[in-house]
Amino acid sequence: MYRSIDDFLKDWKNEEAFTIRIFELITAATKSEKIHKDVRSLERLAWHLTQTLTEMGTKAGLFATDTLEHVAIPSTMEEVIATYKNNSELLARAVQLKWTSSSLTDLIPMYGDQWAKGKLLQIFILHQAHHRGQMTVIMRVLGLPVPGLYGPSKEEWLEMGLPAMD
């Protein structure tokens, strides 16, 4: 749980960059491919992450309305990325303007439960990491490169001239 707005904003900036790195590697040819009937496509996961910014942000009182609630997946990843970047920045700005570090223990209704605002900020981070992990597995199956986010990926180890871990 976050106890400082500044700590969240620093982490959010990094996590936003990680998410964009993943989105940028999704190609037009692979974005809508499904590797299994029960697994979302890369574009669907990217759009889910984007829509969650406004959906959870609205439920938390950071936004007046959920502007992406009924918006279909854009036709290009460039549009998804632009929409993600814009709403990610709006979310960070709303947190900074509407909440204070001392209010992060305040409870808000979320999904039939009561969450501390600081817990919601943590869930924003963890939710993205969770789905990025799913996306990297799908990317591997589809033959796309995978970036190292919290450490080098197999490709990055090889680029450094080091053996990749099995």
Annotated binding site: 48, 127, 131
Beta carbons within 8 Å of 119's beta carbon, 6+ residues apart: 1, 2
* Residue with tokens 């499904």, as numbered in its chain: 34
User: Looking at 9-106, which runs of residues are DSSP E strands?
Assistant: none
- Identify whether the C-beta of residue 60 lies closer than 8 Å to the C-beta of residue 120: yes
Residue with token string 């969650």: 52
Give how far the C-alpha of residue 23 lies from the chain's centroid of Cα atoms, to the nearest Å.
10
Annotated binding site for a divalent metal cation: 48, 127, 131
